[in-house]
């Protein structure tokens, strides 16, 4: 039987309905949740992500402002802007869209984001809290993957999750999140990466397989066990002369072949992407709600 298609778009839409209500309750108490975004340069993928974040914010009732800095901005100029948004009480969440120009150290910039406003969950304090299982803003893509699994009836609890990719944005924080002894987590996790020998031997052990490698068709059907749940985090632009934009988006999985074998799979686009944006909105609302708790 072909796999169930897990629609991130649908799961995200239902979470956004919940967020609209939470934003409305905050407004009754005189608080408009606010998100400040810093975008440097014109990288087309970054511009498109930031546009999706601004649109999502407006939809749920979050005030959003993007500070668009020129492509030749210095590290100091970017840090000054971070500091200005940190100090501005209209913003409960602040994020710097990555990647940054090659002369800028992204870790140094992230270190300047106020940990309380760090809605990406990238600040070292929040990374440490995540690993220790303490309350903190959860990085948006891992949080979105977890919520999509739980809300589609595929909770990772007690399952073997194999993650392909060890980035600081997806692979490492997703592993940290799913090994916690908490509802919606409590999984056995394997992380595979470019140093892994015989990748297929590991992927075939997965109850849940997460592809976050950043390469089209890196995961093929022979690497997937019958009945596996496959989450495709990849977003790759491949040339397509039939598309008006000249490209189309594909994930890291050979979707057509794997859907004949897997229990369930997420599409690209319409899978993890809308969830990532939605969890950013969730983190912003949560940051605003925390200001009420003092």
Among 81, 126, 141, 283, binds ligand GUN (CB under 6 A): 141
Minimum CB separation from ligand GUN for residue 15, in Å? 17
**Buried/exposed code over 143-171 (b: 16+ C-beta within 10 A; e: otherwise):** bbbbbbbbbbebbbeebbbbbbbbeebbb
What is the distance between the alpha carbons of residues 287 and 90, in angstroms, rounded to a whole number?
Answer: 12
By CB under 6 A, residue 109 contacts ligand GUN: no
**Whether the Cβ atoms of residue 56 and residue 16 lie closer than 8 Å to each other:** yes
Q: What is the nearest approach in angstroms of ligand GUN to the Cβ of residue 120?
A: 5
Pick the closer one to ligand GUN by CB: 31 or 98: 98
Structure token digits, residue 99: 């990647």
Query: Would you name the residues annotated as active-site residues?
Result: 53, 97, 120
How do strand 188-192 and strand 160-164 relate by DSSP bridges?
A: parallel
- For the segment 259-278, give every residue that binds ligand GUN (CB under 6 A): none
Closest to ligand GUN by CB, 69 vs 95, is 95
Please state the length of the chain: 294
Confirm or reject binding of residue 283 to ligand GUN (CB under 6 A).
no
C-beta separation of 44 from 71 below 8 A: no
* Least gap, CB of 69 to ligand GUN (angstroms): 14
Token representation of residue 245: 């934009």
Specify the stretch interacting with ligand GUN by CB under 6 A; choose among 95-103, 126-134, 172-180, 200-208: 95-103
For ligand GUN, the binding residues (CB under 6 A) are 95-98, 120, 140-141, 169
């Amino acid at each position: 039987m072909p796999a169930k298609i897990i629609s991130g778009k649908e799961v995200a839409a239902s979470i956004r309905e919940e967020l609209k209500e939470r934003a409305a309750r905050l407004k009754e108490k005189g608080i408009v949740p606010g998100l400040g975004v810093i975008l440097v340069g014109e990288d087309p993928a970054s511009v498109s992500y930031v546009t999706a974040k601004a649109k999502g914010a407006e939809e749920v009732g979050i005030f959003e402002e993007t500070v668009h800095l020129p492509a030749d901005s210095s590290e100091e100029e970017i840090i000054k802007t971070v500091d200005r948004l940190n100090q501005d009480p209209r913003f409960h969440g602040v994020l710097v869209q990555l990647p940054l120009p090659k002369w800028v150290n992204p870790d140094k910039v992230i270190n300047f984001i106020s940990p309380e406003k760090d809605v990406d969950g990238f600040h070292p304090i929040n990374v440490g809290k995540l690993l220790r299982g303490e309350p903190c803003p959860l990085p948006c893509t891992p949080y979105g993957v977890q919520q999509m699994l739980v809300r589609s009836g595929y909770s990772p609890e007690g399952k073997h999750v194999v993650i392909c990719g060890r980035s600081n944005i997806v692979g490492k924080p997703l592993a940290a999140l799913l090994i916690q002894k908490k509802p919606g987590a409590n999984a056995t996790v394997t992380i595979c990466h470019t140093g892994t020998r015989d990748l297929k031997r590991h992927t075939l052990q997965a109850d849940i397989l997460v592809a976050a490698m950043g390469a089209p068709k890196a995961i093929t059907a022979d690497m997937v066990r019958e009945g596996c749940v496959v989450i495709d985090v990849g977003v790759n632009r491949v040339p397509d002369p039939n598309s008006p934009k000249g490209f189309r988006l594909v994930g890291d999985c050979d979707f057509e072949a794997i859907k004949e074998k897997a229990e369930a799979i997420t599409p690209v686009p319409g899978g993890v992407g809308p969830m990532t944006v939605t969890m950013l909105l969730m983190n912003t609302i949560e940051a605003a709600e925390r200001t009420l708790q003092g």
